[in-house]
Protein backbone atom coordinates (compact mmCIF):
# COMPACT_ATOMS: atom_id res chain seq x y z
CA UNK A 1 0.00 0.00 0.00
CA UNK A 2 1.02 3.59 -0.36
CA UNK A 3 0.62 6.20 2.36
CA UNK A 4 0.56 9.87 1.49
CA UNK A 5 1.38 12.03 4.49
CA UNK A 6 0.88 15.79 4.37
CA UNK A 7 2.58 17.84 7.07
CA UNK A 8 1.70 21.49 7.63
CA UNK A 9 2.36 24.09 10.30
CA UNK A 10 -0.63 24.30 12.65
CA UNK A 11 -3.28 26.96 12.20
CA UNK A 12 -2.14 29.96 14.20
CA UNK A 13 1.56 29.16 13.76
CA UNK A 14 2.96 31.68 11.30
CA UNK A 15 4.15 30.02 8.09
CA UNK A 16 6.91 32.32 6.77
CA UNK A 17 7.33 30.39 3.49
CA UNK A 18 3.59 30.52 2.81
CA UNK A 19 3.58 34.22 3.58
CA UNK A 20 6.48 34.88 1.16
CA UNK A 21 4.78 32.88 -1.61
CA UNK A 22 1.50 34.72 -0.93
CA UNK A 23 3.31 38.03 -1.27
CA UNK A 24 4.92 36.89 -4.55
CA UNK A 25 1.52 35.84 -5.95
CA UNK A 26 0.13 39.26 -5.05
CA UNK A 27 3.07 40.91 -6.80
CA UNK A 28 2.34 38.83 -9.91
CA UNK A 29 -1.22 40.21 -9.91
CA UNK A 30 -2.98 36.95 -9.02
CA UNK A 31 -6.04 38.50 -7.43
CA UNK A 32 -8.10 37.04 -4.62
CA UNK A 33 -5.48 34.89 -2.89
CA UNK A 34 -6.63 34.71 0.73
CA UNK A 35 -3.96 32.53 2.26
CA UNK A 36 -1.03 30.35 1.19
CA UNK A 37 0.42 27.60 3.32
CA UNK A 38 3.45 25.51 2.42
CA UNK A 39 3.96 22.06 3.83
CA UNK A 40 5.59 18.84 2.80
CA UNK A 41 4.34 15.61 1.36
CA UNK A 42 5.90 12.31 2.33
CA UNK A 43 5.07 9.23 0.25
CA UNK A 44 5.66 5.88 1.93
CA UNK A 45 5.42 2.49 0.24
CA UNK A 46 4.36 -0.16 2.71
CA UNK A 47 4.37 -3.97 2.72
CA UNK A 48 1.22 -3.98 4.84
CA UNK A 49 -1.94 -4.83 2.87
CA UNK A 50 -4.53 -4.11 5.55
CA UNK A 51 -5.64 -0.49 5.28
CA UNK A 52 -6.48 -0.01 8.96
CA UNK A 53 -3.17 -1.53 10.09
CA UNK A 54 -1.27 0.60 7.59
CA UNK A 55 -3.00 3.70 8.91
CA UNK A 56 -2.09 2.86 12.51
CA UNK A 57 1.50 2.21 11.53
CA UNK A 58 1.84 5.48 9.61
CA UNK A 59 0.18 7.45 12.41
CA UNK A 60 2.86 6.10 14.75
CA UNK A 61 5.54 7.19 12.24
CA UNK A 62 4.05 10.70 12.15
CA UNK A 63 3.88 11.03 15.92
CA UNK A 64 7.43 9.70 16.35
CA UNK A 65 9.37 11.29 13.51
CA UNK A 66 7.57 12.71 10.49
CA UNK A 67 5.80 15.61 12.23
CA UNK A 68 6.75 17.76 15.20
CA UNK A 69 3.36 18.03 16.86
CA UNK A 70 4.45 21.10 18.85
CA UNK A 71 4.19 23.13 15.62
CA UNK A 72 2.82 20.80 12.93
CA UNK A 73 -0.39 18.95 12.00
CA UNK A 74 -0.45 15.99 9.63
CA UNK A 75 -2.95 14.10 7.52
CA UNK A 76 -2.69 10.55 6.23
CA UNK A 77 -4.17 9.06 3.09
CA UNK A 78 -3.78 5.33 2.45
CA UNK A 79 -4.16 3.98 -1.10
CA UNK B 1 35.60 19.58 34.94
CA UNK B 2 35.18 17.02 32.15
CA UNK B 3 32.99 17.92 29.19
CA UNK B 4 31.58 15.47 26.63
CA UNK B 5 31.04 17.08 23.22
CA UNK B 6 28.74 15.14 20.90
CA UNK B 7 29.44 14.68 17.23
CA UNK B 8 26.86 13.77 14.58
CA UNK B 9 27.33 13.56 10.81
CA UNK B 10 27.11 17.25 9.88
CA UNK B 11 28.18 18.72 13.23
CA UNK B 12 30.68 21.53 12.62
CA UNK B 13 31.13 23.40 15.92
CA UNK B 14 32.63 20.55 17.95
CA UNK B 15 36.24 21.78 17.78
CA UNK B 16 35.32 25.38 18.66
CA UNK B 17 33.35 24.02 21.61
CA UNK B 18 36.30 21.90 22.76
CA UNK B 19 38.61 24.90 22.35
CA UNK B 20 36.29 27.08 24.47
CA UNK B 21 36.09 24.66 27.39
CA UNK B 22 39.81 23.85 27.21
CA UNK B 23 40.57 27.57 27.30
CA UNK B 24 38.59 27.64 30.55
CA UNK B 25 40.84 24.87 31.91
CA UNK B 26 38.55 21.88 31.43
CA UNK B 27 39.15 18.58 29.71
CA UNK B 28 36.94 17.57 26.81
CA UNK B 29 36.13 14.41 24.93
CA UNK B 30 34.38 14.02 21.59
CA UNK B 31 31.59 11.45 21.59
CA UNK B 32 30.47 9.85 18.32
CA UNK B 33 26.71 9.67 17.72
CA UNK B 34 26.77 5.88 17.43
CA UNK B 35 28.17 5.46 20.94
CA UNK B 36 25.58 4.04 23.29
CA UNK B 37 27.20 5.36 26.45
CA UNK B 38 28.74 8.63 27.58
CA UNK B 39 32.30 8.78 28.97
CA UNK B 40 32.58 8.17 32.72
CA UNK B 41 32.82 10.97 35.28
CA UNK B 42 31.64 13.75 33.04
CA UNK B 43 30.24 17.00 34.44
CA UNK B 44 28.57 18.36 31.32
CA UNK B 45 27.34 17.19 27.92
CA UNK B 46 27.41 19.73 25.09
CA UNK B 47 25.40 19.18 21.92
CA UNK B 48 27.24 21.56 19.56
CA UNK B 49 26.11 23.45 16.48
CA UNK B 50 26.15 22.37 12.87
CA UNK B 51 23.80 20.73 10.42
CA UNK B 52 23.30 17.20 11.74
CA UNK B 53 21.93 14.96 8.98
CA UNK B 54 21.83 17.95 6.65
CA UNK B 55 18.85 19.39 8.56
CA UNK B 56 16.72 16.91 6.57
CA UNK B 57 13.04 16.62 7.51
CA UNK B 58 13.44 19.19 10.34
CA UNK B 59 16.62 20.48 11.99
CA UNK B 60 17.59 18.01 14.71
CA UNK B 61 14.75 15.58 14.00
CA UNK B 62 16.95 12.68 12.88
CA UNK B 63 19.92 13.27 15.19
CA UNK B 64 17.64 13.03 18.17
CA UNK B 65 17.21 9.29 17.47
CA UNK B 66 20.96 8.61 17.44
CA UNK B 67 22.08 5.94 19.91
CA UNK B 68 24.02 8.52 21.96
CA UNK B 69 20.85 10.55 22.54
CA UNK B 70 19.36 7.70 24.59
CA UNK B 71 22.36 7.99 26.91
CA UNK B 72 22.00 11.80 26.98
CA UNK B 73 18.31 11.52 27.88
CA UNK B 74 19.08 9.15 30.77
CA UNK B 75 21.92 11.43 31.88
CA UNK B 76 19.61 14.47 31.83
CA UNK B 77 16.81 12.63 33.62
CA UNK B 78 19.24 11.78 36.41
CA UNK B 79 20.05 15.48 36.80
CA UNK B 80 23.17 15.66 34.60
CA UNK B 81 23.83 19.01 32.96
CA UNK B 82 23.31 19.30 29.19
CA UNK B 83 23.90 22.35 26.98
CA UNK B 84 22.64 22.56 23.39
CA UNK B 85 24.01 25.30 21.14
CA UNK B 86 22.24 26.17 17.87
CA UNK B 87 21.67 22.80 16.15
CA UNK B 88 22.18 21.30 19.62
CA UNK B 89 19.24 23.38 20.87
CA UNK B 90 17.14 22.12 17.96
CA UNK B 91 18.10 18.51 18.76
CA UNK B 92 17.17 18.94 22.45
CA UNK B 93 13.73 20.40 21.61
CA UNK B 94 13.11 17.59 19.10
CA UNK B 95 14.11 15.10 21.80
CA UNK B 96 11.61 16.65 24.19
CA UNK B 97 14.36 17.55 26.68
CA UNK B 98 13.54 21.24 26.19
CA UNK B 99 10.13 22.86 25.59
CA UNK B 100 9.00 24.47 22.33
CA UNK B 101 10.27 24.09 18.78
CA UNK B 102 12.50 26.01 16.35
CA UNK B 103 10.96 27.01 13.03
CA UNK B 104 12.36 28.66 9.89
CA UNK B 105 13.35 32.31 10.50
CA UNK B 106 10.51 34.68 9.67
CA UNK B 107 12.47 36.38 6.88
CA UNK B 108 13.51 32.95 5.49
CA UNK B 109 17.16 34.02 5.52
CA UNK B 110 20.14 32.38 7.13
CA UNK B 111 21.12 35.05 9.66
CA UNK B 112 24.81 35.28 10.53
CA UNK B 113 25.96 38.26 12.60
CA UNK B 114 26.91 39.50 16.05
CA UNK B 115 23.76 39.99 18.12
CA UNK B 116 23.08 41.60 21.49
CA UNK B 117 21.35 39.36 24.02
CA UNK B 118 19.72 40.31 27.30
CA UNK B 119 20.15 37.94 30.25
CA UNK B 120 16.65 37.26 31.55
CA UNK B 121 17.43 34.75 34.28
CA UNK B 122 20.78 33.94 35.90
CA UNK B 123 19.49 31.72 38.68
CA UNK B 124 20.81 28.56 37.07
CA UNK B 125 23.97 26.52 36.50
CA UNK B 126 24.62 28.17 33.12
CA UNK B 127 24.29 31.96 33.41
CA UNK B 128 25.23 32.40 37.08
CA UNK B 129 28.37 34.39 36.14
CA UNK B 130 26.20 36.92 34.25
CA UNK B 131 23.89 39.55 35.73
CA UNK B 132 20.15 39.60 35.10
CA UNK B 133 19.46 42.43 32.63
CA UNK B 134 23.06 42.38 31.40
CA UNK B 135 23.54 42.74 27.64
CA UNK B 136 25.93 40.30 25.95
CA UNK B 137 27.35 40.37 22.44
CA UNK B 138 27.31 36.88 20.90
CA UNK B 139 27.30 35.69 17.26
CA UNK B 140 24.24 33.99 15.81
CA UNK B 141 24.25 31.82 12.68
CA UNK B 142 21.04 29.98 11.87
CA UNK B 143 18.14 29.53 9.45
CA UNK B 144 15.83 27.73 11.88
CA UNK B 145 16.03 29.78 15.06
CA UNK B 146 12.46 31.03 15.28
CA UNK B 147 11.46 29.75 18.72
CA UNK B 148 7.80 28.78 19.02
CA UNK B 149 5.78 27.79 22.04
CA UNK B 150 2.03 28.16 22.60
CA UNK B 151 0.60 30.75 25.01
CA UNK B 152 0.16 28.31 27.88
CA UNK B 153 3.72 27.07 27.41
CA UNK B 154 5.07 30.62 27.35
CA UNK B 155 3.30 31.52 30.58
CA UNK B 156 4.76 28.43 32.17
CA UNK B 157 8.30 29.33 31.02
CA UNK B 158 7.91 32.83 32.45
CA UNK B 159 6.46 31.63 35.75
CA UNK B 160 9.24 29.10 36.28
CA UNK B 161 12.14 31.32 35.25
CA UNK B 162 13.00 29.14 32.27
CA UNK B 163 13.62 31.95 29.80
CA UNK B 164 17.40 32.47 29.80
CA UNK B 165 18.06 35.00 27.03
CA UNK B 166 16.24 37.32 24.65
CA UNK B 167 17.51 39.02 21.48
CA UNK B 168 17.82 42.68 22.41
CA UNK B 169 19.26 46.07 21.53
CA UNK B 170 22.23 47.43 23.46
CA UNK B 171 19.91 48.68 26.22
CA UNK B 172 18.42 45.23 26.76
CA UNK B 173 15.12 46.01 25.05
CA UNK B 174 13.81 42.98 23.09
CA UNK B 175 14.19 43.15 19.31
CA UNK B 176 12.79 40.96 16.52
CA UNK B 177 15.64 39.02 14.93
CA UNK B 178 14.11 35.82 13.57
CA UNK B 179 10.48 35.89 14.72
CA UNK B 180 10.95 34.03 18.02
CA UNK B 181 8.05 34.26 20.47
CA UNK B 182 8.85 37.28 22.72
CA UNK B 183 12.35 37.35 21.16
CA UNK B 184 13.45 34.25 23.09
CA UNK B 185 17.04 33.17 22.28
CA UNK B 186 17.54 30.52 24.96
CA UNK B 187 15.58 28.46 27.48
CA UNK B 188 16.10 25.73 30.07
CA UNK B 189 13.96 22.86 31.29
CA UNK B 190 11.93 23.07 34.48
CA UNK B 191 14.56 21.20 36.51
CA UNK B 192 17.15 23.71 35.24
CA UNK B 193 19.75 21.16 34.20
CA UNK B 194 19.14 21.21 30.42
CA UNK B 195 19.94 24.43 28.57
CA UNK B 196 19.54 25.48 24.95
CA UNK B 197 20.32 28.62 22.99
CA UNK B 198 20.62 29.59 19.33
CA UNK B 199 23.60 32.01 19.74
CA UNK B 200 27.16 30.65 19.76
CA UNK B 201 29.06 31.51 22.98
CA UNK B 202 31.98 29.35 21.76
CA UNK B 203 32.51 31.90 18.97
CA UNK B 204 32.91 34.82 21.40
CA UNK B 205 36.14 34.04 23.23
CA UNK B 206 38.50 36.83 22.15
CA UNK B 207 37.96 40.60 22.42
CA UNK B 208 40.16 40.93 19.33
CA UNK B 209 37.59 38.95 17.34
CA UNK B 210 34.62 41.03 18.47
CA UNK B 211 33.59 39.74 21.88
CA UNK B 212 34.70 37.61 24.80
CA UNK B 213 31.27 37.48 26.41
CA UNK B 214 30.95 33.80 25.49
CA UNK B 215 33.74 32.90 27.90
CA UNK B 216 31.81 34.32 30.83
CA UNK B 217 28.66 32.47 29.80
CA UNK B 218 30.43 29.11 29.57
CA UNK B 219 32.30 29.79 32.81
CA UNK B 220 28.96 29.39 34.59
CA UNK B 221 29.42 25.64 34.46
CA UNK B 222 32.71 25.85 36.42
CA UNK B 223 31.18 25.30 39.86
Average pLDDT over residues A26-46: 96
Give the minimum alpha-carbon distance from A53 to chain B in angstroms, rounded to a whole number.
24
Q: What pLDDT is stored for residue B223 in this prediction?
A: 72
> Would you list which residues of chain B are within 8 Å, Cβ to Cβ, of chain A?
57-58, 61-62, 65, 93-94, 100-101, 103-108, 146, 148-149, 179
Q: What is the pLDDT of residues A12-32, one digit of tens each?
A: 899 999 999 999 999 999 999
A65–B57 C-beta distance less than 8 A = yes
Report the predicted TM-score, pTM, of the whole model to 2 decimal places: 0.95
Q: What pLDDT is stored for residue B38 in this prediction?
A: 98
Give dist(CA B184, CA B168) in Å, integer: 10
Give dist(CA A25, CA B176) in Å, integer: 26
DSSP-assigned letter for residue B212: -
Give the DSSP letter string of B41-109.
T-SEEEE--B-GGGG-SSTTTTGGGSHHHHHHHHHHHTT--EEEETHHHHHHHHTTSSSSEEE--TT-S
For chain B, which ranges sit under pLDDT 70? Answer: none
Q: What pLDDT is stored for residue B174 in this prediction?
A: 98
Sequence-ordered list of residues with C-beta below 8 angstroms from that of A38, at least 6 positions apart, any chain:
A8, A15, A17, A18, A21
Amino acid sequence: MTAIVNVFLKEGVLDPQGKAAHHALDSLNFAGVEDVRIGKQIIIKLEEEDKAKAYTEVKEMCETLLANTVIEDYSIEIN
Amino acid sequence: MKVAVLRFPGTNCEFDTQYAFEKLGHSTELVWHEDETLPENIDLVVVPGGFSYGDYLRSGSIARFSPVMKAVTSYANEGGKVLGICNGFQILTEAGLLPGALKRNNNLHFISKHQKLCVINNDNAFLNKCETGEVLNIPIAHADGNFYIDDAGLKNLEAKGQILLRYSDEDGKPVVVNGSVTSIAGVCNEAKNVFGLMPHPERALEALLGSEDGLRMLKGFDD
